[in-house]
Structure 1
């Protein structure tokens, strides 16, 4: 997890602290256990301030915005090694306070290196693995007096996946390393910066240099050199212009990013569908899938739920069997059986999810790898033969909303194209309009439901057929932002054990469509005959409505578009429930937007 940002200018900046604080606020979804800023002035002095808490709290306490200098580093921490504390907050100094550095990721041999550095006389001030990165580079710099060699040698002893930004107090350069965790370089007018994620760079510059794992960069205010961390060989790579508006990173009048991003879904889906119409690689992508012996669709969290729906579409539309699997489970369950005739579709919002990258690393060229990723230049995208971008712009709120809908859209579109049935493609052209109608139709109903019910401390969300992934996704959204136990499940399975939970007024949600009436009414009655409180999310069906205590309607549509529309009320329910409970839906406790640890 964590987020790190470093920037270097040509001259001293009175507003450096403000620039670093603003960058931290744009990365706040990556970690909120602690935050720290280190700056270096042209006089050769340094200033390092850090503490436990979120950016605004610590800024008010330590006056980050008053810090001055010509270069600086900010880090937001999501704790893994070492408890959340002032001493474990980053950035860290080296022994003599000649270096300042911060990282994102996990150094898995921290215990062993801590013992080694202590025996060698290093001054360690924390229990944090980020400090170990700084001391590893310091160790070899003291031997070779050369940062290139120091970084290359440190890379040999640091075990784990990480990215870091580090600088020496007495020079006019900065360095960053990418090895398994996300990192981007931004090239602006009079400055160069590096960051874990694009939201902190885009307001400053759209000239982005994607970095690959195993690379490090030496940069000053006007130039950069990329090198291979193992060989030291220089790598030429020009910046790319990222076509992302700075408005995408602002709330635009909404109270929270989550609600803004829910309401952006009609537009981002429309953008994606327009892109898919003209994507020159899509035919090649589909031909690879048609020739595949086995298709594996792999993701984590919301992306896994989209993968489940994708397998359903592949079966129903294209009559093609595909295996959907959680990324964290794939290696143990399937990796040994994968061969060169198989195809792997990796689905990821960030393209940096550690569990997904572990799948890539385990296969190491054994099969064809395709991807569906939102972040251009991410690790997963760059290591895939072909990628379909999600076209969502930035998604800042930790809970996935618009990326989930667009993942569904891509998988639907691929399956529809493989089916040679033009009707599926014709119908999905109506999706943006239907999503817009769903938002305006569902939100008043959801608000009334949230305000009128007080017994939502524990519940199940059930779905049948293609609605099963939607039930899982809805339950996940509620757990993420409300911290209540909502469990998603296939509705036919509920009677095989969990039905024992039902008592008077126990709430159970049924996510459904009128095409499923015969099956779902039977499942509803299993709950209501035991005095449970059944709530349906459905299109217009008198038979379903008459069998439940409450129904939230979405617009009528063909069954194959129903999972898109049924997702919206569940997203809105999670959001408004969180607001009722006084929770911040953008920053759920213990969670991070991009999960870059095992």
Structure 2
């Protein structure tokens, strides 16, 4: 959830760390802080609020040095205050620690430490770590040994980076929370996500659970929990520094909406035989021939993509269902070696999704990670991985990753169906072929949208409803989620047919209804539109060009290019993203950093 940056090396390390924190602010923006080791000890500056609040005072508070760490926080234990901001120190002020994750046994550890005379200054779970380190250092351990002793008593998840007076290295460890090394010629970075150091290096080392790393200006060493050396591969990212910048857009979210044509091009590149309409994913022929059922798990936007994928599979006759990852273990689904469980997760680090995948794996199911991040925990732990290739997404509210997830799931669904039946249906083959035109169609939506005009008409209403049927249902859910995430207005999505079973009681002239039409079962959805119009509600339809019945009935229309029904939802989602964006902009909301939310949810 939170953002960690560390830097050991030449140059202005504090500036490097601050730049990294700015690039990671999507992971948390309740408070931020930096610790620096110089020749006379450790200096710390930390503030509640966004990074800008820290930057306003840091130049007067910190000197310069070759080793620094920083943190931007999404609060779990204790409110966002100066005292609760990271880094946290021991009683002597000689050890500073930044931490992502949750130390589950922190209360017991804190009680024991206080009984031994330690004084705490924050409400956080993290603060037990520097005090434990202090004790082990006092007992004669070196810092690496003290860190291992400390790790041995911690329950929960963590990515930890430690800075200590008198040490020319940073020490780091991870379990259940991501931590990367960025390797440059004259400096080495630590970070919870690659955008922190992309403008300095694209060489990345992914630390794995149980790893302990020692980082200096000259390089790094990685050991396991017992101190035995381990090798971790250096990977080159194909992301560029520009991918993690606004590049002239007012918000990252708007930039990422506009990046969807290119993101989808990358998602399908090399994965379609255009002459036959066959998917060409990098799986052996018949790889899924022994699958009896498919379960897709995810959270938030990724769950909506999973719902879409389950609908695509079901249309091909595959036993498929989407399950919220946080509820997966409670649903007691059928799990055996003929069950394929697909974890849909942008970051590959979402705690609830990882928990569901591990639950499935322990019970003998085959697991597949559908993710955006090479080297992520999900990609490493699952039996297979399929990457959506969307590039870095900085805005907290997902946009381009949803489109890339759905497109990749369509290719996967066609592959699974072909392996199970020996051939693709004509409809599925047509959908795969239609993908090749999708990037240009996405660009047409972005270029020709009337979302800004419609947003001005409906920016200040009592509530907003989003309805759809079949594959339009997850699009409606995603439209409502995006709207509530960044506008802070009440929005609700549900199947169109459910209107008359309760939600219709809430419909008034002040509750616009966004109705999504997929090209299938449109007549029934049109009946639902007439139901809300009879109660005075304005209807904004999202539909293909030329759908005359809808065009004549709706009060407002957002059109998308005519395409295969399985792809209409991808185009419709872009229109709803733009509606959410423009309404939120008119309401002056913090679009890229909505309150109470963070990008990568690594706690359960």
TM-score band (shorter)? Answer: over 0.9
**What residue is the counterpart of 2:29 in the other structure?**
32
CA–CA distance in 2 between the matches of 1:113 and 1:295? 43
Pair 1:548–1:25, CA change in 2 (3 A):
same
Output aligned runs, 1:18-97, within 5 Å: 18-41=15-38, 43-63=39-59, 67-97=63-93
* Aligned counterparts of 1:324 and 1:517: Cα–Cα separation in 2: 23
Q: Offset of 1:17 from its aligned partner?
A: 2.2
1:240 aligned partner: 235
Residue equivalent to 1:148: 144
Matched, 1:384 2:382: yes
- Secondary structure in 2 matching 1:167: strand
Deviations 1:543-573 (A, max 9, x none): 1122221111111222111011110110000
Runs (5+) with no aligned partner, structure 2: 419-423
Give the match for residue 487 of structure 1: 492
Provide the rounded CA distance (Å) in 1 between the counterparts of 2:303 and 2:269: 25
Judge which range, 463-472 or 523-532, deviates more. Answer: 523-532
Say which is worse superposed, 201-210 or 419-428, in terms of deviation: 419-428
Deviation at 1:505, TM superposition (A): 4.4
Counterpart CA distance in 1 for 2:62 and 2:580 is 39
Instruction: Please give the alpha-carbon distance, in whole angstroms, between the structure 2 residues aligned to 1:180 and 1:393.
Output: 23
Alignment partner of 1:406 is 2:401: no
Q: CA deviation at 1:184?
A: 0.6
Say which of 549, 554, 560 aligns to 1:554.
560
Report what 1:269 is aligned to.
264
Contact 2:266 2:389 (C-alpha < 8 Å) held by counterparts = yes
Native 8 Å contact 1:467 1:511 kept in 2: yes
Instruction: Provide the residue aligned with 2:288 in structure 1.
Output: 289
1:413 and 1:360 mapped to 2: Cα distance? 21
Matching residue within 425, 432, 442 for 2:439: 432
Describe the SS at the equivalent of 2:242. Answer: helix
- Give the drift of 1:63: 2.5
Residues 117 and 425 of structure 1: CA distance in aligned 2, closer, same or farther (over 3 Å)? same
The residue aligned with 2:582 is: 576
* Contact preservation (8 Å) 1:461, 1:489: yes
The 10-residue stretch of structure 1 (233-242 or 18-27) with the greater mean CA deviation from structure 2: 233-242
Q: Distance in 1 between matches of 2:117 and 2:2?
A: 29
Matched, 1:17 2:22: no
CA positional deviation for 1:158? 1.0
Structure 1 distance, partners of 2:236, 2:270, is 18
1:72-99, Cα deviation, whole Å (9 max, x unpaired): 0000111111111111110011121121
Q: Report the more deviating stretch, 144-153 or 474-483.
A: 144-153
Local SS of the residue matching 2:6:
strand
Tell whether the 8 Å contact from 1:528 to 1:534 is kept in structure 2 after alignment: yes
Superposed CA offset, 1:187-232 (max 9, x none): 1111111101111021111110011112121121112221222x33
Deviations 1:396-424 (A, max 9, x none): 01111111100000111112233424322
Matched residues in 2 for 1:321 and 1:64: separation? 62
Residues 144 and 340 of structure 1: CA distance in aligned 2, closer, same or farther (over 3 Å): farther
Total equivalences in the alignment:
589
Selected match of 2:549 from 535, 543, 549: 543
Deviates further, 287-296 or 492-501: 287-296
User: Are the counterparts in 2 of residues 289 and 295 from structure 1 also a CA contact under 8 Å?
Assistant: no
Quote the residue 1:566 is aligned against: 572
Q: Is the 8 A contact 1:178 1:212 kept in 2?
A: yes
Cα distance in structure 1, aligned partners of 2:434 and 2:202? 36
CA distance in 2, matches of 1:464, 1:578: 26
Q: Per-residue CA shift, 1:448-491, capped at 9, x if unaligned? A: 11112354331210011100000000100001100011101001
Distance in 2 between residues matched to 1:64 and 1:151, nearest whole Å: 32
Unaligned 5+ runs, structure 1: none
Which position in structure 2 is the counterpart of 1:340? 337
Give, in angstroms, the shift of residue 332 of structure 1.
1.0
The yes-or-no answer on 1:185 pairing with 2:181 is yes
Q: Distance in 2 between matches of 1:133 and 1:196?
A: 18
Question: Is the 8 Å Cα contact of residues 102 and 134 (structure 1) preserved in structure 2?
Answer: no
Quick check: 1:506–1:532 contact (8 Å CA) kept in 2?
Answer: yes
- CA distance in 2 between counterparts of 1:587 and 1:273 reads 30
User: Is 1:350 matched up with 2:340?
Assistant: no
1:416 is aligned to 414
> What are the equivalent positions in structure 2 for 1:485-524 lying under 5 Å apart?
485-524=490-529
**Deviations, residues 232-261 of structure 1 (Å, cap 9, x unaligned):** 322112311111111101111111110110
Write the distance in 2 (CA, Å) between the matches of 1:338 and 1:505.
46
Once the 2 structures are TM-superposed, how far is the Cα of residue 373 of structure 1 from its aligned partner?
Answer: 0.6
**Secondary structure in structure 1 of the residue aligned to 2:598:** coil
Alpha-carbon distance in structure 1 between the residues aligned to 2:361 and 2:163: 34
Contact persistence 2:163–2:171 (CA under 8 A): yes
Partner deviation per Cα, 1:368-413 (whole Å, 9 max, x = no partner): 1111110111111111122111111111011111111000001111
Does structure 2 conserve the Cα–Cα contact (< 8 Å) formed by 1:281 and 1:386?
A: no
- State the SS of the aligned residue for 1:69: coil
RMSD: 1.9
Alpha-carbon distance in 2 for matches of 1:146, 1:275 = 51
Contact 2:463–2:510 (CA under 8 A) maintained in structure 1: no
Contact 1:285 1:386 (8 Å CA) reproduced: no
Structure 1 position 280, deviation (Å): 11
Q: Does the alignment pair 1:313 with 2:312?
A: yes
How far 1:143 sits from its partner (Å)? Answer: 2.6
- Work out whether 1:221 is the aligned partner of 2:227: no
Q: How far is 1:511 from its partner?
A: 0.8
- What is the TM-score when the length of structure 1 is the normalising length? 0.95
1:568/1:413 CA distance change after superposition, 3 Å:
same
Q: Does 1:115 align with 2:111?
A: yes
Find the aligned partners of 1:581 and 1:282 in 2 and give their Cα distance. 43
C-alpha deviation, 1:110, in angstroms: 1.6
Rounded to whole Å, the distance in 1 between the matches of 2:282 and 2:73 is 43
Q: Determine the C-alpha separation between the residues in 1 that align with 2:266 and 2:385.
A: 16
Relative distance call for 1:134 and 1:440 in structure 2 (3 A) is same
Deviates more, 1:83-92 or 1:276-285: 276-285
The whole-number CA distance in structure 1 between the counterparts of 2:403 and 2:232 is 33
Question: Pick from 534, 539, 550: which aligns with 1:534?
Answer: 539
